[in-house]
Structure 1
Amino acid sequence: MIDKLKEWIEESDNIVFFGGAGVSTESGIPDFRSAGGLYAHSPEYMLSRTYFDSNTEEFFDFYRKHMIYTHAKPNTTHRVLAEMERRGKVRAVITQNIDGLHQQAGSRNVIELHGGIRDNYCMKCNKHYELEYVIKSIGVPRCKVCGGVVKPNVTLYEEPLNMKEFEKAIEYIRDAEILIVGGTSLVVQPAASLMDYYRGSRMVVINKEANFCCSRANMTINRGLGEVFSKISEE
């Protein structure tokens, strides 16, 4: 199966990768849904706009502990995708993750559907801040210029996606020759609906467990992403 995928990759210069949490778990970043711990509410609620607005300090306490992993480094999947882009194979990486590891690995055309932790902005004056500023702040990070709340540029539950990025993702998926879907259960909407725009005949799903997209896939590989991508990169 992987040998066939390698053949497809060699034949194409129009590959799009769509990835989820499973891409980053191999870098030591857990799926945030496992981050409930001792907290009274579900991770989804604690990452909602309602919770951010009504319990801002508690939001940042949760966010710093469970959404920021500065020690995490790009893994095999990140690195191989970046190399495939350099070779002119991968046109775009579309990710549901917010960790920025694709960019760190060297991928240049990355569409972050849910934003990214490395960009933060003042909600009053729109001044932007690096991740380090949020990490080092005590309690609620405040703007040095106007005192407004500095919010991570990530899409919280109850917030709409960045439509400009979403429309770019539609365009790349619609025009792709090969669509590789990896490390995602495809249960989060509207991101999961992007699969409906693919018009080609080479959809590849790489996931340890089956997801609803498997029935539409032209190739399904139920293995870890790192294992598959390490073999893809072999000469």
Structure 2
Amino acid sequence: MDELKKLEEFKKIVEGSDNIVFFGGAGVSTESNIPDFRSASGLYSTSQKTSYPPEVMLSHSFFIKHPEEFYEFYKSKMVYRDAKPNAAHIALAKLEEQGKLKAVITQNIDGLHQAAGSKNVLELHGSIHRNYCMKCGEHYDLDYVMDSKELVPKCEKCGGIVRPDVVLYEESLDMDVLYKSIHYVSNADVLIVGGTSLVVYPAAGLVDYYKGGKLILINKTSTPYDYKANIVIHDSIGKVLSYVVG
């Protein structure tokens, strides 16, 4: 099937369903100029000048032992305050508004789906926009963390360290968010997977819970799940979703 036929088939599937779930990864946000992790221009490839690999610097144990170095890396490499929703985010928000899309499940922490207008967003890896004191639990927004005079932000109430509500390496996913995601995927009529290499578990394993026969994969490179998909499109996710949603 050529690309245009795939797009038309995809469009028909979307038009005929009101129970669609979208599951996305870093590739959804690269079109908002936020680097992904594993591509040639991704975070893992461009962070070789640091003393430690990104996986180490973004781990729970590193954060506890070296909060200054963690925050130096986090603030410069993980937070993009000027990023705006792209065509993919906007198309998905439109699909939800039409009553077709039931949930967005994302591995991203940038909050761009909500910025585009999506309401039911399940953030598997947390969000840079939520931060809390590790000592008393007081909540803080992103500006508080980024504009803190100290490199490591401290709680105004008790002086404890404020950390981002993101899932670091060595930490478990929020089980409530994971179970909700499984519920939506397993009950979906159509599952659209986009911008993810589907190699990071347990998130990638969500696809295994899909029981339907309308699995669409949109990613610039091949994934281990391509053989399971009904339609595979290797193209810009923003371009594809804009065409399909209209």
TM, length-normalised to structure 1: 0.98
Counterpart of 1:51 in structure 2 is 62
The reply on whether 1:26 has 2:24 as its aligned counterpart is no
Q: 1:126 aligns with which of 137, 162, 184?
A: 137
**Percent of residue pairs bearing the same amino acid type:** 53
Does the CA-based 8 Å contact 1:35-1:43 persist in structure 2? Answer: no
**Residues 25-174 of structure 1 aligned to structure 2 (within 5 Å):** 25-31=30-36, 32-137=43-148, 138-174=150-186
User: Shift of the alpha carbon at 1:35?
Assistant: 4.3
2:147 and 2:45 map into 1 onto residues whose CA distance is 25
Q: 1:207 aligns with which of 210, 215, 219?
A: 219
Report the secondary structure of 1:16's partner residue: strand
**Residues 12-23 of structure 1 aligned to structure 2 (within 5 Å):** 12-23=17-28
1:230 and 1:47 map into 2 onto residues whose CA distance is 34
Residue deviations 1:30-86 (CA, integer Å, cap 9, x gap)? 013344142011111110001101111100000000010011000000000000000
Counterpart of 1:187 in structure 2 is 199
Q: 1:9 aligns with which of 5, 8, 14?
A: 14
Residue deviations 1:191-210 (CA, integer Å, cap 9, x gap)? 11111100000000001111
Report the secondary structure of 1:125's partner residue: coil
Unpaired stretches in structure 2, ≥5 consecutive residues? 1-5, 37-42
Report the secondary structure of 2:13's partner residue: helix
Aligned length: 234
Moved more, 12-21 or 28-37: 28-37
The code of the aligned residue for 2:55 comes to E
The code of the aligned residue for 1:88 comes to G
Report the secondary structure of 1:26's partner residue: helix
The code of the aligned residue for 2:244 comes to I
1:230 and 1:85 map into 2 onto residues whose CA distance is 14
RMSD of aligned C-alpha atoms?
0.8
Does the CA-based 8 Å contact 1:35-1:66 persist in structure 2? Answer: no
